[in-house]
Amino acid sequence: MSIHKYIDYIRNQQGVSRDQLGAGVFYYNELAKVEALKMFPKKIVMDTILQRLDATRDIFEYFSTSEEYNILSLRKQIALYIHKQQYNTAILSIQKYKQLIGDNNLYNQFYDYFIACLIENNVEHAIIPINVSLEKFYFNIIKSTVPDFNVLPFEQLLLSYFEIYLIIKYTKFLDTEPAYTLYMELLNYVNNKSPKTKALFAPKIVCNLADILLEKNKYKELLDICNDVINCLRTTNKFNYLTSLLKIKLHLLEIYNLKNDEYYQLKAWRNVLTEFYVGYNVDINNDKYIFLKMFGLTGVHLINSVIKHRRIMFGYTQEHLADGICEFKTLSRLENGKTKRPNPKILSKLLKKLNFTGDLYSDTIPFVDNETFILSDKVTQTLRMNSIIECQEYLEQFQEKLDMTNKLNLQCILYRELCVNNRISPENSAEYVQELKNILGITIPTTNVYDKKYKYFSWEELRLIGVIIYNLNKLGDITELNKWIEMVELYFQDKEFYLNHLDSYCFVFSQISSLLGNQHNFLESNAINNTLIEEQLDNVILEHINRDIYGKFWNIIEEKKQQGVELTPSEIEYCLKLLKTSYMFSDILRNNYGKQLVIEQLEKLNPNQHFIHFLFY
């Protein structure tokens, strides 16, 4: 099933007309041209469509032309320059951006937003209009792609992430009563979307709304809203604006004189997280996470890099890859980034020959139907929860929906079967590692893959490589292990690969850090742990940060054991601080395994005090 049919399926399911979905953005027949490979899909358009339908997926992959990649990269840079208040640098990039975007309505909407940000921060420059009402300016920016804004009720609107964000910005400049009404309507709108959309915007809306509700003495209403949004953040493993929400809730509990166990738990969460953020000089209570979700490059692949690096990894000459698809010269120009608008049909055939789906905007497995997506998610969720029997049932249903002659499907299913059915025990490390290599080898040549000059891996392949590294460490094959580690370290030195697979980067390097610690290379292991913590904080992706904080503690303890010396009082104090921080993140994330690890260590390191009193009182 193509992305076009997937969009049509969701659209019909929701009762959304084609005109509604494309309003202010595109003509719907353009999607048919994308499906027929007559037109290259623009990521900004596809993202807007999927977000309006609330049908985005974290593992969608997009293959971008160098022309579009430059625009997307500039857009992200400008947003971060403005976030960091580097306005002069931002203006230079905005001018460059304007020269590249042409008359595309969505790209121009971003340009107008950047100008609004500069006006809001009193920046003066020739490109910035003077004597402008920001309320009207933001209103016009919204209307450029949402013509029915302030015409139709909120529940009848279809909004992308950026359109939701623009309305939040616009509301800030309204008087108190209309702002209150609009914030409540917008909060109700995101509450009825998927948990990840709600987690992205509800925290900011509530923080903006809190002062109004406090002035109105609507304490119960604000408390209920805070409870709901904090729970949503915990369920989705997000932390944006969490400490601000905790501050609001603690204030409300103090108003009600409810200094109970929950109060001290929330207070401990906030104090520990705030101290942790200050220690790394970061602030989570701002819009950076929203910016990264709206402007980020996760899953965006530069098409010429993919084809060139993948071709060399496969050992193909340009002539061999081009054979039966296009002229040799066409491929050469494409790989060298000299083709501004490559032919989508040619690209699809080249990608298929290199063991990708062939879709230019797709999931990591070929589209079948919407049920396939649901089953795929259920397999992942039940496996993560270790609900093996339930996972096996979903896996069987999932497999029945797929074409198992397709290499990508076969790889996907065989790896999950290996995890779920234990047809080879992980304890039998040599056989287990070989089976992992066999599964990886379905889509790429694994023999001496680490010796290849260029490489390009899919999301699924990177996850398999991380698991291979972990199991090679258990096997004790240090020579081969080091080759795989060196390959991954070199691979992620390329900024493009790092940006589009940050979650895989964190996953793989956490495996490397763990095995270095097991090899008693504590200095290097801690260096990786620190880098992982900094990267996760910088990108506001914190769902695994408890693991890396605990890893720092574990390295200190193990190093002291190896040296045969006791911890000094200051080292004990530092270790207790690490354990407390790891526990708080685990507690917020409802990670019982992470909490139990910490409790066991606290009872050894701090036996004279009950861990509950140490952590919360």
The CATH number assigned to the domain holding 354 equals 1.10.260.40
Q: Contact, 163 vs 128, CB < 8 A? A: no
The DSSP string of 228-255 is HHHHHHHHHT--TTHHHHHHHHHHHHHH
| Other beta carbons within 10 Å of 249 | 23
Residue 403 within a domain = yes
Whether residues 322 and 379 share a domain: the answer is no
Residue 6 within a domain = no
State the DSSP code for 156. Answer: G
Q: Which residue has the higher pLDDT, 61 or 279?
A: 279
pLDDT value for 180: 98
CA distance linking residue 73 with residue 545, whole number of Å: 27
Residue 201 within a domain = yes
Residue type, position 2, single letter: S
Residue type, position 576, single letter: L
Q: How high does pLDDT run on average in the chain? A: 90
456-495 pLDDT per residue, tens: 898 889 889 988 988 888 888 888 888 998 898 888 887 7
Whether residues 374 and 331 share a domain: the answer is no
Residue 599 within a domain = no
Give the rounded percent of residues in the chain with a pLDDT score beyond 90. 58
Task: Report the range out of 6-20, 24-38, 397-411 with the highest average pLDDT.
Answer: 397-411
pLDDT value for 443: 94
* pLDDT surpasses 60 at 321: yes
What tokens appear for 42 in the block? 């623009």
* pLDDT surpasses 80 at 509: yes
In the predicted model, what is the mean pLDDT of residues 367-380?
Answer: 76
* pLDDT surpasses 80 at 1: no
Question: From residue 104, how far is each of 82, 99, 274, 298, 300 by CA, in Å?
Answer: 22, 12, 42, 22, 20
389-413 pLDDT per residue, tens: 898 999 999 999 888 888 988 998 9
Q: Which residue has the higher pLDDT, 280 or 381?
A: 280
Residue 161 within a domain = no
Band of pLDDT at residue 430, cut at 50, 70 and 90: confident
Residue 466 within a domain = no
Whether residues 192 and 244 share a domain: the answer is yes
In the predicted model, what is the mean pLDDT of residues 23-38?
Answer: 73
In the predicted model, what is the mean pLDDT of residues 330-359?
Answer: 89
**Across-strand partners of 64?**
302
What tokens appear for 485 in the block? 């580690």
Q: Contact, 453 vs 472, CB < 8 A? A: no
CA distance linking residue 195 with residue 236, whole number of Å: 7
- Phi, psi (5° rounding) for residue 302? -75, 115
In the predicted model, what is the mean pLDDT of residues 504-526?
Answer: 88
CATH number, domain containing residue 290 = 1.25.40
In the predicted model, what is the mean pLDDT of residues 151-160?
Answer: 92
**248, 272, 298 - which closes a domain:** 298
Question: From residue 441, how far is each of 31, 93, 411, 431, 462 by CA, in Å?
Answer: 35, 43, 9, 15, 12
Whether residues 187 and 294 share a domain: the answer is yes
Task: Report the range out of 225-234, 490-499, 500-509 with the highest average pLDDT.
Answer: 225-234
Q: Which residue has the higher pLDDT, 232 or 418?
A: 232
Per the listing, tokens 């929701």 go with 14
**345, 362, 379 - which closes a domain:** 362
Q: Contact, 179 vs 171, CB < 8 A? A: yes
Residue 373 within a domain = yes
* pLDDT surpasses 90 at 190: yes
Identify the domain containing residue 310 by its residue range: 303-362
The DSSP string of 77-122 is HHHHHHHTT-HHHHHHHHHHHHHHHTT-HHHHHHHHHHHHHHHHTT
Whether residues 307 and 285 share a domain: the answer is no
Give the rounded percent of residues in the chain with a pLDDT score beyond 70. 95
Q: Contact, 368 vs 402, CB < 8 A? A: yes
**409, 443, 477 - which closes a domain:** 443
pLDDT value for 368: 63
Question: From residue 534, how far is each of 82, 344, 506 by CA, in Å?
Answer: 21, 39, 11
Residue 153 within a domain = no
Whether residues 226 and 284 share a domain: the answer is yes
Q: Contact, 299 vs 59, CB < 8 A? A: yes
pLDDT value for 386: 72
**Across-strand partners of 302?**
64
Whether residues 396 and 422 share a domain: the answer is yes
Whether residues 196 and 276 share a domain: the answer is yes
| Other beta carbons within 10 Å of 287 | 17
Whether residues 318 and 259 share a domain: the answer is no
Q: How many CA atoms lie within 13 A of 479 on its CB side?
A: 1
Whether residues 188 and 277 share a domain: the answer is yes
* pLDDT surpasses 70 at 44: yes
Q: CA triplet 9, 11, 12: central angle to 5 degrees?
A: 70
Band of pLDDT at residue 28, cut at 50, 70 and 90: low
In the predicted model, what is the mean pLDDT of residues 137-157?
Answer: 94
pLDDT value for 367: 58
- CA nearest neighbour of 55 among 64, 47, 67, 66: 47
What tokens appear for 30 in the block? 């353009």
Whether residues 314 and 281 share a domain: the answer is no
In the predicted model, what is the mean pLDDT of residues 599-612?
Answer: 92
3-state secondary structure of 362: strand
Number of domains in the chain: 3
Whether residues 350 and 409 share a domain: the answer is no
Q: Contact, 25 vs 48, CB < 8 A? A: yes
